Structures are given as structure tokens and as C-alpha cells.
């Protein structure tokens, strides 16, 4: 069943409100759009809205963190990662302040709003900052687990969510550890490492591949930074071929991170499924995923290519 990221976020925040009395939520004129108004009603003094001023939003969060509170900045991905990027670098990353950024509406899944609102580079830029952890949630359960893990961790962290509906993959509870990953399916021929909304596509792809005799490991690579290095190494040795899948530019995201790690530790073919080096456009999520290569079919094609490269490599 599909459930909404936006409705889950408020649940996740509300659940943690008692356990983390120091948690303060900040937004920039997006409380209504993100369904956060229940929280501001329940905890009026723990919700700070700064209006449409994202640079100010980030700086304010940094100041709150400096007083020992735990600010959680919530907003559309584009406006809480790329727009105030330099403020994030100077006021959060460099001083290593305990600010959490939760970014909704990440990637092409934004749909009809179009390219201006489709953050295809957020993981690339935030991942490049020292001190930052970067996570992506695949469904509602994982969103809640991720927020809790971020609150437990002392330091800057970024969580990336989709716009609206996601298939319920984990149903209920799941582990979430920085540097962790979930193996959702085992197979010896190829590893598909996916994050966010592409996890669902990866599982569908693995099913189809199985019927064609290709057995795929499916990894939910929710921790883009730090990477699940040991698991990547193990799977690279076992399957000898990788596909990565993400609703993000193929430059700088999960695919790049996996390539960076494997190239220095266990070089195997890695085919990156993601948005090619171009901007998005308006359209429905389904239309855009088809046009920009983010479907199970694209993963299947990539998996076959990765497997064939492995054979070619072996033949030398």
C-alpha cells in the first residue's frame, strides 16, 4: 500500500516530541504545505517559522543549536539544501553544529512544479560537506526510523524524502544506523543499490530479472554518507557487478559515492541509474520517471549491462 511522506513526517516529529524536549522545528512558510500545523498547535513554542527566508532559516537553526537545542529544519529540498547552501556550509557544517535538515520534495518526483523545484543535486552538494551525514528514506517507516536516528546522533545530518506517496516497504519498524544498509533480496549475479523512491523500482526489477535467470541482490542504501562500506565491499566481491539507482542526478549522488568507494577498494562495473546530466521539467512523476530513465525497466537494462561487463572483464 502507498503512504504519504508528508503525513508520515508529522507523525515522526510528533512521536519524538516527548523524548526529545530539546527538539525545535523550523520552517520557512511551508508548515501548511508539509502538514506540520498539528505540531505547532500542540507545541506552539517549539515551532519557529521565519517566513520565506531560507538563508535566515539555516542561520537561525545554527544559533539555536549553539544554545544546546536540537533544531530540525523542514522544507522543500530545493529550498533547504541548494538555496541556502553556503549558509549550511558556514553556519552548520564547518562549526559542526547539531542541526538536522529534513528535505521533502526531492528529485523528479516533484512533478508538475518543474525544474525549478526539482532538487536533483541536493545529495551531491550536501555530501561534499565535512561533518554532514546524508540519508534518504524509501518509505514512511524508514522516515520515522531515520528521524529518530538523526536525533540520537550528535552532529549535522540531512534526510531526503519524496514528495508524496511511497510504497510501504518496511511496514512498521526497521533499523536505521548511520553507515548501515538493508539487504532486501539476495542474489549472486549483480547488486542493485538503491535509495529513496528507487528502492521500490529496484525490487520490481529484481523480480523480473529473476524470471530471466539473473539473480540480483537488492540493497536499500539509505546511508549515502557514511556509506555502508563493509557491505558494499562484501557484495562487490560476491556479485562482481553493481547498479545504483536514485531519483537524483547521476553526478554526485549515491551512484557517485558507490563508484568512489568501490574504485579504490574493489573495482567492479557500476552502472548508475539516475537523472542524466540535465535539468528536469514539468510532468507527472510517472511520465518523468519514464522519460528520464528512472524505472524498473531502466534498472533491468543496467543490470544486464553490468553483468555482461563482468563477463567481458573475466575474458580479459
Ligand X SMILES: Cc1ncc(C[n+]2csc(CCOP(=O)(O)OP(=O)(O)O)c2C)c(N)n1
Q: How many CB atoms lie within 10 A of CB 2?
A: 11
52 is a contact residue toward another protein (CB under 8 A): yes
90 is a contact residue toward another protein (CB under 8 A): no
Q: Which is nearer to another protein, 83 or 298 (CB)?
A: 83
52 is a contact residue toward ligand X (CB under 6 A): yes
Which residue carries 549550511 as its cell? Answer: 88
Number of chain positions touching ligand X (CB under 6 A): 5
The site string for another protein over 192-211 (x = CB under 8 A, - otherwise) reads --------------------
- 258 Cβ contact partners less than 8 Å away, ≥ 6 residues apart: 193, 221, 227, 232, 242, 244, 270
Q: Which is nearer to another protein, 51 or 267 (CB)?
A: 51
Cα separation of 255 and 283, whole Å?
25
Judged by phi (left if over 0) then psi (alpha if -120 to 50, else beta), residue 252 lies in left
Per CB under 6 A, the list member of 46, 83, 127, 133 interacting with ligand X is: 83
Per CB under 8 A, the list member of 10, 12, 24, 50 interacting with another protein is: 50
The length of the chain is 316
Using CB positions, name the residue nearest to ligand X: 29
Q: In whole angstroms, how close is the CB of 51 to another protein at the nearest point?
A: 3
- Quick one: how far is CA 93 from the chain centroid? 18
Per CB under 8 A, the list member of 14, 22, 29, 43 interacting with another protein is: 29
Q: Which is nearer to another protein, 171 or 286 (CB)?
A: 286
Per CB under 6 A, the list member of 7, 14, 22, 29 interacting with ligand X is: 29
Q: In whole angstroms, how close is the CB of 94 to ligand X at the nearest point?
A: 23
Q: Which is nearer to another protein, 98 or 118 (CB)?
A: 118
The residues in 257-286 that bind another protein, with binding defined as CB under 8 A, are 281-284
Provide the binding-site residues for another protein, judged by CB under 8 A. Answer: 28-33, 49-56, 78-79, 83, 112-117, 281-284, 287-288, 291
Amino acid at each position: 500500500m502507498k503512504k504519504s511522506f508528508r503525513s508520515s513526517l508529522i507523525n515522526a516529529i510528533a512521536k519524538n516530541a516527548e523524548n526529545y524536549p530539546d527538539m525545535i522545528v523550523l520552517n520557512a512558510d511551508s508548515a501548511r504545505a508539509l502538514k506540520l500545523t498539528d505540531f505547532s498547535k500542540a507545541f506552539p513554542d517549539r515551532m519557529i517559522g521565519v517566513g520565506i527566508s531560507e538563508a535566515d532559516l539555516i542561520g537561525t537553526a545554527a544559533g539555536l543549536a549553539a544554545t544546546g537545542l536540537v533544531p530540525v529544519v523542514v522544507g522543500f529540498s530545493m529550498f533547504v539544501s541548494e538555496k541556502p547552501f553556503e549558509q549550511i556550509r558556514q553556519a552548520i557544517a564547518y562549526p559542526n553544529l547539531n542541526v538536522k535538515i529534513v528535505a521533502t520534495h526531492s528529485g523528479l518526483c516533484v512533478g508538475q512544479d518543474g525544474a525549478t523545484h526539482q532538487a536533483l543535486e541536493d545529495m551531491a552538494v550536501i555530501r561534499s560537506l565535512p561533518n554532514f551525514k546524508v540519508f534518504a528514506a524509501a518509505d514512511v517507516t524508514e522516515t520515522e526510523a531515520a528521524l529518530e536516528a538523526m536525533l540520537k546522533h550528535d552532529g549535522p545530518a540531512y534526510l531526503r524524502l519524496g514528495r508524496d506517496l511511497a510504497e510501504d516497504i518496511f511496514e512498521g519498524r526497521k533499523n536505521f544506523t548511520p553507515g548501515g544498509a538493508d539487504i532486501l533480496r539476495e542474489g549472486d549475479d549483480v547488486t542493485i543499490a538503491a535509495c529513496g523512491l528507487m528502492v521500490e523500482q529496484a525490487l520490481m526489477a529484481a523480480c523480473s530479472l529473476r524470471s530471466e535467470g539473473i539473480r540480483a541482490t537488492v540493497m536499500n542504501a539509505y546511508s549515502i554518507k557514511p556509506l555502508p562500506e563493509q557491505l558494499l565491499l562484501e557484495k562487490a566481491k560476491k556479485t562482481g557487478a553493481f547498479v545504483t539507482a536514485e531519483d537524483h542526478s547521476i553526478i554526485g549522488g549515491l551512484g557517485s559515492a558507490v563508484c568512489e568507494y568501490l574504485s579504490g577498494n574493489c573495482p567492479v562495473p557500476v552502472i548508475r541509474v539516475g537523472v542524466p546530466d540535465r535539468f528536469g521539467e514539468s510532468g507527472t512523476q510517472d511520465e518523468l520517471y519514464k522519460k528520464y530513465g528512472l524505472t524498473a525497466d531502466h534498472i533491468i537494462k543496467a543490470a544486464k549491462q553490468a553483468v555482461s561487463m563482468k563477463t567481458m572483464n573475466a575474458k580479459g
